[in-house]
């Protein structure tokens, strides 16, 4: 029996070995800064965590960004983007693999930022956020201007100084951070906050917004490329001027704003006109208006004088009217006399018509008409009775004549039908087979009552019924055929009939 070999190598459980490897890997490397290309990125998981890989030409490592860390990432990761990830190397025991827990993630160089900026610009432009149809007109003379910028920089001082020089107005400053972590959220909240102010609230709602910042690098101005900032600027109901950086600096908010200013100072110049120039313009317009009114007054006075010279004097106008009044007065007296005569005649005619239409006269006429109608009714009643009596006599005479004509017609029709019936009876007798039987012929029928017309169908022993004009005889056919030739026709026929018996 072979003795079992006893090894002095210690035994590990899978969990113990996995934990030892995890501790060794984390102690050896700790935090690392890793540069590579994103692969397999599918966006946040349902839990909010992000899983992807970072690879180069010959190797790949899994990466995880927890939900709280991913919310602080300033750009949108995409497949193929080169990034620099800072985090801790660890293992995942469930898959026996190692991975990096990413704590910060940033694009690898300015080229990646520009690529990301161009992709975001194209995507937002496709949504129509940069369309000219969305842009609003800048008010000519705003009463209140809202400025969104850093309260400690030189930008706010330049804007206030330029506004004071040109046209002093009420300014509301919403202090925000213009770079660094969380600056994009503050700018978005400032634009939304100004738009949320009520029209007639305790704090005046601005008529115009200015989002301003001084110059800087692409990374310094990156907050104004934030998607939430661009959407807030595009959705602002208050007209907005973007004044970010110098004249050569362009950010995405410049495309979404209603007006883009090359510098913050230029934004202040766009916001308000020059008060002295405006006063000079108003004064010039006032002088021109006064001169136009003075010339109009002089022209109207001249026209009035010319018109007054062409008008007749008041005495001439009154004398003509007085003469017309005298003539009308004379005509009025004559007209009144003729009118009185005319109306007197009409009244007389109406009185005569009323006398004819009085109740007594009309009742007398109705009585006379009623008497005449009674006489005509009595005469009509007598004439009607006489006409009815004559009609009855004539009707009786006509009825007697009709009855006589009916009796004669009935006799004629009856005689005709009797004669026709006798003729048809004679014709029936002449066409009946019984008349033929009376001349010496006989009718041969089979047991079914059907006539036998040929001897060919009769077989010996068949029962036959022979009918004569005075009766019938039942017979049986024998073997002699009725179609055998005979010496004479008469004898053959007699022989045939005899054979039947």
- What is the per-residue pLDDT across 80-121, written as a single tens digit (0 to 9) for each? 778 888 988 888 777 777 888 898 888 776 566 677 788 888
Phi, psi of 473, rounded to the nearest 5 degrees? -135, 135
Same domain, 462 and 416: no
Run of H or E including 54: strand 50-55
**With 70 as the cut, is the pLDDT of residue 487 above it?**
no
In the chain, how many domains are there?
4
Same domain, 159 and 251: yes
**With 50 as the cut, is the pLDDT of residue 234 above it?**
yes
Same domain, 172 and 236: yes
DSSP class of residue 268 equals H
Same domain, 161 and 231: yes
Percent helix, strand, coil in the chain (nearest 5)?
50, 15, 30
Same domain, 181 and 152: yes
What is the pLDDT, as a whole number, of residue 297? 92
CA distances from 264 to 36, 139, 155, 227, 273 (A): 39, 18, 6, 22, 15
What is the pLDDT, as a whole number, of residue 479? 62
DSSP class of residue 56 equals -
Same domain, 174 and 268: yes
CATH value at residue 178: 3.40.50.2300
In a domain, 397, yes or no: yes
In a domain, 197, yes or no: yes
In a domain, 82, yes or no: yes
Of 272, 293, 320, the residue at which a domain comes to its end is 272
Of 63, 83, 108, the residue at which a domain comes to its end is 108
CATH value at residue 61: 2.40.50.140
In a domain, 369, yes or no: no
In a domain, 240, yes or no: yes
Residues 6+ apart with CB under 8 A from 43: 50
Same domain, 389 and 492: no
Most confidently modeled range among 157-171, 332-346, 359-373, 464-478: 157-171
Same domain, 252 and 155: yes
How far is C-alpha 279 from the chain's CA centre?
Answer: 55
Same domain, 417 and 495: no
In a domain, 333, yes or no: no
**Per-residue pLDDT tens for 341-378?**
888 888 888 888 877 777 777 787 788 888 888 888 88
In a domain, 214, yes or no: yes
Using alpha carbons only, what angle is made at residue 498 by residues 495 and 500, rounded to the nearest 5 degrees?
115
Same domain, 146 and 260: yes
What is the pLDDT, as a whole number, of residue 486? 44
Same domain, 402 and 496: no
Q: Identify the domain containing residue 480 by its residue range.
A: 438-500
DSSP class of residue 312 equals P
Same domain, 177 and 264: yes
SS (H, E, C) 455-473: CCCCCCCCEEEEEECCEEE
Residues 6+ apart with CB under 8 A from 237: 195
Q: Which of 153, 166, 198, 154 is nearest to 271 (CA)?
A: 166
Phi, psi of 386, rounded to the nearest 5 degrees? -65, -40
Instruction: Give the up-direction half-sphere exposure of residue 405: CA atoms within 13 A in the CB hemisphere.
Output: 6
Q: Which of 35, 12, 32, 18 is nearest to 91 (CA)?
A: 18
In a domain, 188, yes or no: yes
């Amino acid at each position: 029996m072979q003795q079992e070999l006893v090894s002095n190598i210690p035994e590990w459980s899978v969990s113990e070995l996995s934990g030892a490897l995890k501790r060794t890997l984390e102690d050896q490397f700790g935090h690392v800064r890793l540069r590579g290309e994103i692969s397999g990125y599918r966006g946040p998981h349902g839990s909010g965590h992000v899983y992807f890989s970072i690879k180069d030409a010959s190797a790949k490592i899994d990466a995880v960004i927890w939900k709280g860390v991913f919310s602080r990432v300033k750009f949108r990761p995409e497949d193929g983007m080169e990034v620099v990830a800072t985090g801790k190397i660890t293992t995942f025991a469930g898959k026996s693999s190692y991975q990096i827990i990413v704590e910060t993630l940033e694009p690898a160089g300015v080229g990646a930022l520009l690529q990301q900026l161009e992709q975001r610009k194209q995507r937002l432009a496709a949504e129509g956020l940069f369309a000219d149809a969305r842009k609003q007109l800048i008010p000519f003379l705003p009463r209140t201007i809202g400025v969104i910028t850093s309260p400690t920089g030189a930008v706010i001082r330049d804007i206030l100084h330029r506004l004071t020089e040109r046209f002093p107005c009420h300014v509301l400053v919403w202090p925000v951070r213009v770079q660094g972590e969380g600056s994009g959220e503050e700018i978005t909240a400032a634009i939304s906050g100004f738009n949320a102010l009520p029209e007639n609230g305790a704090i005046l709602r601005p008529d115009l917004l200015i989002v301003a910042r001084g110059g800087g690098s692409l990374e310094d101005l990156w907050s104004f490329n934030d998607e939430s900032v661009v959407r807030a600027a595009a959705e602002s109901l208050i007209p907005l001027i973007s004044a970010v950086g110098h004249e050569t600096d362009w950010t995405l908010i410049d495309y979404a704003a209603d007006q883009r200013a090359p510098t913050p100072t230029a934004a202040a110049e766009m916001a308000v006109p020059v008060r002295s120039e405006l006063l000079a313009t108003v004064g010039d317009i006032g002088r021109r208006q006064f001169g136009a009114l003075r010339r109009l007054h002089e022209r109207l006075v001249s026209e009035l004088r010319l018109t007054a010279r062409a008008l007749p004097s008041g005495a001439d106008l009154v004398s003509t009217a007085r003469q017309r009044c005298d003539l009308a007065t004379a005509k009025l007296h004559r007209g009144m006399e003729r009118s009185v005569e005319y109306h007197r005649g009409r009244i007389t005619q109406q009185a005569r018509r009323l006398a004819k239409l009085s109740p007594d006269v009309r009742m007398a006429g109705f009585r006379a008409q009623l008497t005449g109608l009674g006489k005509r009714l009595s005469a009509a009643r007598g004439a009607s009775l006489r006409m009815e009596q004559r009609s009855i006599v004539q009707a009786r005479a006509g009825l007697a004549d009709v009855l006589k004509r009916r009796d004669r017609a009935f006799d004629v029709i009856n005689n005709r039908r009797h004669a026709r019936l006798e003729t048809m009876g004679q014709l029936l007798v002449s066409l009946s087979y019984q008349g033929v039987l009376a001349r010496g012929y006989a009718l041969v029928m089979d047991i079914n009552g059907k006539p036998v017309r040929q001897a060919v169908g009769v077989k010996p022993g068949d029962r036959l019924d022979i009918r004569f004009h005075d009766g019938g005889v039942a017979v049986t056919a024998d073997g002699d055929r009725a179609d055998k030739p005979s010496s004479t026709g008469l004898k053959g026929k007699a022989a045939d009939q005899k054979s039947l018996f």
